[in-house]
C-alpha cells in the first residue's frame, strides 16, 4: 500500500509531518460511502499552503456534505520530491494517502503567478496528463482552479479543464453536484465541460478561440458550443450567512501563519490603484460584530490555538472594529489568547485600538506608505498623508514601540528620482520624530525600509502601465541608497528577474502556456522560491517560443487594446479603470467608497449601493 | 495549584512529530480539553509544561512522561478522559499520577528495536562480542571518537521473519544519552550490508538507582 511505502521513507526528509497528515481537525471519511472526491491542491509546500484561509473555508465546506470528501495536497520540498521520484511514489492526498490521479476533482488554488510551474509539476507527479487536450474523454479527473489569479487564467488555459471565478462557497458545490449527476449518467469530459460552462462563474478555456493581430496583441476571443461571451465572477452577497468553518486542521509543525483567523470583511473601500486585491474582491461587505466574535470563539475553542487574527485587506476599515475588539477581548483576555490585526492602516489607527492589541502582545509595527512623496501617493491613490504617518508613529512610540517597518514600491507610474529621495526623507522624519520626543521609550530605534518592484496587474487602473526595466530599478535603488543618511535606517532592496516574469504572466495571453510548459520541462518548479528560480530557464523558454517577456511586462497598452482577459468580468468596469488611470496621471486621488462612490460597478451584484448613505 | 505527571503513548504517525512540535501539540490539546492549565506570570505568560525525557524523531514510545500544572485539583480519571478526547490519534494518555522522581533521577531507557536485513541474528552476535565499538560523535568541541560498547545492554535478541527484534537498555538522562540510531548506524557499518530500522519503541524509563522512573 502507498501509505506504508511513504512511511518507510519519512525519516529521510526534513519535517516529515508535512507529508503524513494525522493532524487534529483533518477529516477522514470512508471512501466507499463517498460519491465525489476533491483533491484541494496548493501549489507550494505544506508550510505555506496550510496558512491559506481560502483552503480552510472550502475544505470544511465540501466536507460538510456527507457524500463529498475534500482532501489536502501540497507540493513536496526538494528532499521529499527526490524520495518520491526514486521510489515511484505518485503525488498523494494527506487524508487518505491515495494517489491524486484517482480523484474526481483535482483543484488548484491560484494565489500567485510564480506558482504556475509547480502546478504543472504536481499534475505530472500525479500522473495526470499536464495538457488538457491529452486527457481524453473520461470525465475524471477534472482539473480545475480557483483563486485570485483566475482573473487572467489565459497563460494556464492549456492545462485546466475549467476555472472557477470569484468566491467559491456556492459554485464549488454546484459544480460537484453537476459532476455527480452527469458522471452517473455516463457523460464524457467534453459533455460535462459544455454543461459546466453554463454555470455562472465557470470558465471553460477550451470553449474559446483566441486570434491575434500581427503585432502580437489579442484580436478577438470567440466563444463556441454555447459558452457565454463573458464569464462573471461569483460573489457571496451576505457575509453573515456565508459559510465559515468552526474548526481547522491544526498542523504539528510551525507554519507561516500559525494562528486561526476570522475574515472580518471582504473587499476594500480604498481603491489604491496598484492593488489588485482591492479591486478583485469588491464589493465591500462586512460581517457583523456578533458573527465575527462567534466565529472567533468557535475556532479558538475547537483548535486550541492561542492566537486569533482578524483578517481582511484592511481590518481597521470595519465600521464596528472597536466594538468587535471590546467584545472579543472579554473572551480572549483570561484565556491567554493573543489578538492580531495584520492589516492596520496609517490613517485610522487609533490609540484605543493600539491599546487593545497591546494588552496582549507588543511587537514591531509595519506601515506601507508605498510611495515617498505626496504627489506620487496621490497618483497611486494611497490616501495616506505624511502627517497621518507621523501621527501614527508618534502613537506607536508613545506606546513603547521602537521598531517601525516601512514598505515602499519602486517603478510606479510617473515616478521620478524626487519620489525615490522622498522615501529616504520619510524614514528620516520618522527617526527625527523619535528623537524629538522628550518621553520616548527606552531602547534602540530601528526604522527599516523595504522596497519591492511594482508589478502592474489586470483589473487595476494600472493594467495599462509598463513595468519599469531592471536597469532602471537598479539605478533608483542606488539613488535611494545614497539618500539615506542615518544609521538608524536600514534599507532592504530586493531585485530579481522574478518580478518581470510575474508581470509577464499576470498580463499574459494563451501563448505563454508553451513557455510555462518549457520552463517546467527544463526543471522549473517552486519558482516563487529564490533558491529554485532560474532566470535563464525562463528567458530561454520565451525565446524558444518566439516571445518576449518585455512585450507583456514593459509595454504601455492603449485603452482600446483587447486585453487577454477581456472576456472575464470581475465586476469593476473597464470604463472605471480607464477613468482611474486618467486621474492617476493627473495626480487626482479618489476618495474611499465610504465617502463617495466612484462607480466601479461592483455593487451590481448586491442590487443596491454598497453604502446606502453615500451618493455617487 | 497541583502538578500531575501524565504517562502517554506516542505511536503510529506520531513518531514523525519532533519534540518541539509535540510540545506545541500538547499545549493545544490541553487548551482544547478545557483543563484549568496554570500559566506562568510575567510579560509573556506561557503554559507550564515539562517533559522529563525527550524522544527522538522516528521512535514510538509506550512510556512518555509529561508534567502539567493545573490551577485546581481535578480527579485523575477526569484528566485522562478530557485529555484523551482532545489528543490526536497516536497520542494516548494511559496514567495520571503525582510526580515522584525528578528529571535528574533518570539513568537509562529500554527500547525494543526491530531490524530487517540479511542474517541479522548472527551479525548482531558478532557485532556485540567486539571488545569495543568506536563511533564518531559530534560534540561542542568537534568530532570525537567514543566507544559505545560499554553503554549497550542487550536484554533480549530474538529472530523475526526477515530480521531481529532486540531489547536494548541504553543510557539516558543528564549523565549521558545514547540514541538508538547511533547503535543501528554502527551496526549497519559493521554489517557492510543494508540494515533497515523497521521500528523503535521506548518501553521503560529507569532511574539511576535501577527503579522504574515514576
A310 contacts A445 by C-beta, under 8 angstroms:
no
Distance from CA of A205 to the nearest CA of B (A): 42
CA triplet A182, A184, A188: central angle to 5 degrees? 50
Taking CA–CA distances from A305, the nearest residue in chain B reads B28
Percentage of chain B exceeding pLDDT 90:
90
Beta bridge mates, A36: A68
A4-43 residues touching B, CB cutoff 8 A: 7, 10-11, 15-17, 20-24
Q: Put residue B79 in one of left, alpha, beta given phi > 0 → left and psi -120 to 50 → alpha.
A: alpha
Name the residue among A10, A254, A305 with its Cβ closest to that of B16. A10
The torsion angles phi and psi of A98, rounded to 5 degrees, stand at -90, 150
Q: Kindly give the residue spans of alpha helices, DSSP state H, lying in A149-262.
A: 168-184, 189-196
Residue B49, Cβ neighbours under 10 Å: how many?
Answer: 17
Mean pLDDT by 10 residues, chain A (616 residues): 91 95 97 98 97 97 98 98 97 98 98 97 98 97 98 98 97 98 98 98 98 97 97 97 97 95 96 97 97 97 95 91 91 88 62 59 73 97 90 83 90 97 96 88 86 97 97 95 94 87 98 98 94 96 98 98 98 98 97 95 93 76
User: Which architecture, in CATH terms, is B2-99?
Assistant: 2-Layer Sandwich (3.30)
How many Å from the N-terminal Cα to the C-terminal Cα in chain B? Answer: 20
Residues of B in contact with A336 (CB under 8 A): 39, 45, 47
| Residue B4: C-alpha distances to residues B41, B61, B73, B79 (Å) | 19, 19, 9, 9
| Whole-number Å distance between alpha carbons of A522 and A333 | 53
**Containing domain of residue A46, as a range?**
2-232
Average pLDDT over residues B61-84: 97
Residue whose entry in the numeric block shows the C-alpha cell 518566439:
A546
Residue A411 φ/ψ region, left for φ over 0, alpha for ψ in the -120 to 50 degree band, beta for the rest: left
Number of structural domains (chain A) is 1
Helix axes A417-436, A386-398, angle to 10 degrees: 30
- pTM of the full structure: 0.94
Q: What is the pLDDT of residue A357?
A: 61
Contact B52, B106 (CB under 8 A): yes
CA–CA gap between residue A32 and residue A29 (Å, rounded): 9
Place of cell 476571443: A221
Sort out which chain B residues have CB atoms less than 8 A from A24's CB and list them.
25, 28-29, 32, 86-88
Q: What CATH number is given to the structural domain containing A182?
A: 3.40.50.280
Beta bridge partners of B159: B164
| A-chain residue closest to B15, CA distance | A17
HEC secondary structure over A394-446: HHHHHCCCCEEEEEEEECCCCCCHHHHHHHHHHHHHHHHHHHHCCCCCCCCCE
Would you say A374 and A368 are in contact if contact means Cβ atoms under 8 Å apart?
Answer: no
The DSSP-derived string for A328-351 is: HHHHHGGGT-EEE-S---STT--H
Distance CA A8, CA B58 (A): 10
Contact criterion met (CB below 8 Å) for A538 and A116? no
Cα dihedral across residues B100, B104, B110, B111: positive or negative:
positive
Contact A180, A137 (CB under 8 A): no
Q: Inter-chain contact A22–B32, Cβ cutoff 8 Å?
A: no
Cβ <8 Å between A10 and B27? no
Domain ranges (residues) in chain B: 2-99, 104-207
Q: What residue of A is the nearest CA neighbor of B36?
A: A335
Which of A304, A331, A332, A358 has the highest number of chain B CBs within 10 A, making it the mutation to test binding with B? A304
CA distance A9 to chain B (A): 11
Contact B30, B83 (CB under 8 A): yes
> For A579-608, what is the HEC assignment?
HHHHHHHCCCCCCCCCCCCCCCCHHHHCCC
C-beta of residue A58 within 8 angstroms of C-beta of residue A40 = yes
CA dist A183 and A192 (Å) reads: 8
Q: What is the pLDDT of residue A616?
A: 55
Beta bridge partners of A448: A405, A490
- Tell me how far apart the alpha carbons of residues A21 and B92 are, in angstroms, rounded to a whole number: 17
CA distance A169 to A216: 37
Minimum-distance CB partner of B21 among A253, A303, A336: A253
Other Cβ atoms closer than 10 A to A536: 9
| Cell 496554570 -> residue | B38
For residue A287, how far is the Cα from the chain centroid?
Answer: 21
Residue A139 lies in a domain: yes
Omega before A108 within 30 of 0, i.e. cis: no
ipTM rounded to 2 decimals: 0.92
B10 CA: distance to closest CA in chain A (Å)? 13
A340, burial (CB in 10 Å: exposed 0-12, middle 13-18, buried 19+): middle
Q: How many CB atoms lie within 10 A of CB A509?
A: 23
Q: Which fold has domain B104-207?
A: Alpha-Beta Plaits (3.30.70)
A120 within some domain: yes
**Cβ contacts of B88 on chain A, cutoff 8 Å:** 22-24
Alpha-carbon distance A10 to nearest alpha carbon in chain B (angstroms): 8
Q: Taking all residues of chain B, what is their mean pLDDT, rounded to a whole number?
A: 95
Burial class (CB in 10 A: 0-12, 13-18, 19+), A392: buried
Is there a domain that residue A373 lies in? no
User: CA B25 to CA A304: how far, in whole Å?
Assistant: 9
Question: Which residue in B has a C-alpha nearest to residue A358's C-alpha?
Answer: B43
DSSP A449: E
B18 pLDDT band (50/70/90 cuts)? very high
Q: Which helix (H) or strand (E) holds B66?
A: strand B60-70
Instruction: Determine the residue of chain B that is closest to A298 in CA distance.
Output: B32
Alpha-carbon span A578 to A587, nearest angstrom: 14
Within an 8 Å CB–CB cutoff, is residue A306 touching chain B? Answer: yes
Contact A22, A87 (CB under 8 A): no
CA separation for the pair A346, A404 (Å, rounded): 12
Query: For residues A97-124, b (16+ Cβ closer than 10 Å) or e, as one string?
Result: bbbbbbbbbbbbbbbbbbbbbbbbbbbb
Chain A residues with beta carbon closer than 8 angstroms to that of B25? 24, 250, 252
A98 domain residue, yes or no? yes
Evaluate whether residue A508 is within a structural domain.
Answer: no
Amino acid at each position: 500500500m502507498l501509505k506504508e511505502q511513504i512511511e518507510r521513507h519519512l525519516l529521510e526528509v526534513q519535517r516529515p509531518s508535512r507529508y503524513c497528515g494525522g493532524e487534529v481537525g483533518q477529516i477522514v471519511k470512508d471512501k466507499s460511502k463517498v460519491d465525489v472526491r476533491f483533491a484541494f491542491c496548493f501549489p507550494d509546500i505544506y508550510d505555506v499552503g496550510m496558512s491559506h484561509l481560502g483552503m480552510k473555508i472550502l475544505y470544511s465546506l465540501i466536507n460538510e456534505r456527507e457524500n463529498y470528501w475534500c482532501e489536502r495536497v501540497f507540493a513536496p520540498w526538494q528532499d521529499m520530491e527526490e524520495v518520491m521520484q526514486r521510489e515511484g511514489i505518485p503525488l498523494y492526498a494527506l487524508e487518505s494517502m491515495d494517489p491524486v490521479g484517482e480523484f474526481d476533482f483535482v483543484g488548484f488554488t491560484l494565489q500567485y503567478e510564480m506558482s504556475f510551474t509547480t502546478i504543472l509539476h504536481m499534475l505530472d507527479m500525479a500522473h495526470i496528463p499536464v495538457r488538457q487536450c491529452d486527457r481524453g474523454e473520461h470525465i475524471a479527473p477534472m482539473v480545475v482552479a480557483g483563486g485570485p489569479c483566475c482573473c487572467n487564467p489565459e497563460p494556464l488555459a492549456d492545462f485546466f479543464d475549467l476555472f472557477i471565478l470569484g468566491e467559491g462557497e456556492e459554485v464549488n458545490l454546484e459544480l460537484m453536484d453537476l459532476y455527480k449527476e452527469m458522471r452517473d449518467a455516463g457523460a464524457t469530459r467534453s459533455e460535462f465541460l459544455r454543461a459546466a460552462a453554463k454555470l455562472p462563474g465557470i470558465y471553460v478555456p477550451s470553449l474559446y478561440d483566441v486570434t491575434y493581430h500581427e503585432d502580437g496583441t489579442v484580436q478577438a476571443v470567440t466563444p463556441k458550443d454555447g459558452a457565454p461571451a463573458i464569464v462573471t465572477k461569483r460573489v457571496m452577497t451576505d457575509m453573515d450567512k456565508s459559510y465559515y468553518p468552526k474548526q481547522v486542521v491544526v498542523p504539528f509543525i510551525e507554519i507561516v501563519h500559525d494562528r486561526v483567523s476570522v475574515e472580518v470583511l471582504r473587499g476594500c473601500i480604498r481603491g489604491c490603484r496598484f492593488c489588485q486585491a482591492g479591486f478583485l474582491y469588491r464589493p465591500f461587505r462586512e460581517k457583523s460584530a456578533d458573527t465575527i466574535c462567534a466565529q472567533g470563539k468557535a475556532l479558538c475553542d475547537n483548535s486550541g490555538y492561542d492566537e486569533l487574527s482578524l483578517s481582511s485587506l484592511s481590518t481597521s476599515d470595519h465600521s464596528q472594529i472597536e466594538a468587535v475588539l471590546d467584545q472579543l477581548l472579554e473572551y480572549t483576555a483570561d484565556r491567554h489568547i493573543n489578538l492580531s490585526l495584520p492589516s492596520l492602516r496609517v490613517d485610522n489607527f487609533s490609540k484605543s485600538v493600539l491599546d487593545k492589541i497591546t494588552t496582549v502582545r507588543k511587537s514591531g509595527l509595519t506601515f506601507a506608505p508605498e510611495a515617498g512623496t505626496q504627489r506620487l501617493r496621490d497618483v497611486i491613490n494611497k490616501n495616506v498623508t505624511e502627517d497621518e504617518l507621523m501621527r501614527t508613529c508618534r502613537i506607536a512610540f508613545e506606546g513603547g514601540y521602537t521598531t517601525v517597518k516601512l514598505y515602499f514600491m519602486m517603478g510606479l507610474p510617473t515616478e521620478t528620482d524626487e519620489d525615490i529621495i522622498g522615501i529616504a526623507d520619510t524614514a528620516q522624519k520618522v527617526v527625527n520624530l523619535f528623537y524629538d520626543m522628550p518621553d520616548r521609550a527606552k531602547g534602540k530605534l530601528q526604522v527599516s525600509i523595504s522596497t519591492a518592484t511594482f508589478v502592474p496587474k489586470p483589473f487595476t487602473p494600472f493594467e495599462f502601465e509598463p513595468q519599469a526595466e531592471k536597469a532602471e530599478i537598479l539605478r533608483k535603488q542606488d539613488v535611494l541608497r545614497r539618500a539615506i543618511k542615518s544609521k538608524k535606517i536600514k534599507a532592504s532592496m530586493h531585485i530579481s528577474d522574478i518580478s518581470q516574469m510575474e508581470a509577464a504572466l499576470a498580463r499574459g495571453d494563451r501563448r505563454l502556456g508553451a513557455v510555462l510548459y518549457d520552463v517546467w520541462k527544463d526543471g522549473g518548479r517552486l519558482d516563487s522560491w529564490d533558491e529554485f528560480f532560474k532566470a535563464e530557464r525562463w528567458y530561454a523558454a520565451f525565446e524558444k517560443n518566439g516571445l518576449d517577456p518585455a512585450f507583456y511586462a514593459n509595454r504601455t497598452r492603449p485603452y482600446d487594446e483587447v486585453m487577454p482577459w477581456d472576456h472575464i468580468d470581475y465586476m469593476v468596469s473597464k470604463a472605471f479603470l480607464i477613468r482611474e488611470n486618467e486621474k492617476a496621471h493627473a495626480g487626482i486621488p479618489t476618495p474611499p467608497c465610504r465617502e463617495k462612490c466612484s462607480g466601479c460597478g461592483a455593487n451590481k451584484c448586491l442590487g443596491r449601493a454598497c453604502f446606502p448613505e453615500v451618493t455617487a | 495549584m497541583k502538578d500531575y505527571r501524565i504517562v502517554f503513548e506516542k505511536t503510529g504517525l506520531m513518531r514523525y512529530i519532533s519534540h518541539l512540535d509535540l510540545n506545541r501539540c500538547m499545549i493545544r490539546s490541553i487548551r482544547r480539553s478545557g483543563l484549568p492549565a496554570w500559566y506562568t506570570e510575567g510579560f509573556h505568560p506561557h503554559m507550564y509544561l515539562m517533559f522529563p525525557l525527550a524522544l527522538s524523531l522516528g521512535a514510538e514510545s509506550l512510556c512518555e512522561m509529561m508534567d502539567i500544572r493545573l490551577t485546581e485539583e481535578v480527579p485523575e480519571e477526569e484528566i485522562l478522559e478530557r485529555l484523551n478526547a482532545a489528543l490526536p490519534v497516536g497520542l494516548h494518555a494511559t496514567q495520571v499520577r503525582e510526580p515522584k522522581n525528578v528529571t535528574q533521577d533518570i539513568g537509562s531507557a529500554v527500547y525494543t528495536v526491530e531490524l530487517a536485513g540479511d542474517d541479522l541474528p548472527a551479525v548482531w552476535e558478532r557485532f556485540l562480542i567486539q571488545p569495543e565499538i568506536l563511533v564518531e560523535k559530534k560534540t561542542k568541541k568537534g568530532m570525537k571518537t567514543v566507544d559505545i560498547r560499554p553503554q549497550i545492554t542487550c536484554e533480549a535478541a530474538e529472530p523475526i521473519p526477515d530480521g531481529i527484534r532486540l531489547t536494548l537498555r541504553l543510557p539516558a538522562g543528564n549523565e549521558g544519552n545514547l540514541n538508538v540510531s547511533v547503535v543501528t548506524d554502527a551496526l549497519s557499518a559493521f554489517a557492510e550490508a543494508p540494515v533497515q530500522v523497521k521500528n523503535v519503541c521506548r518501553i521503560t524509563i529507569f532511574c539511576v538507582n535501577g527503579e522504574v522512573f515514576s
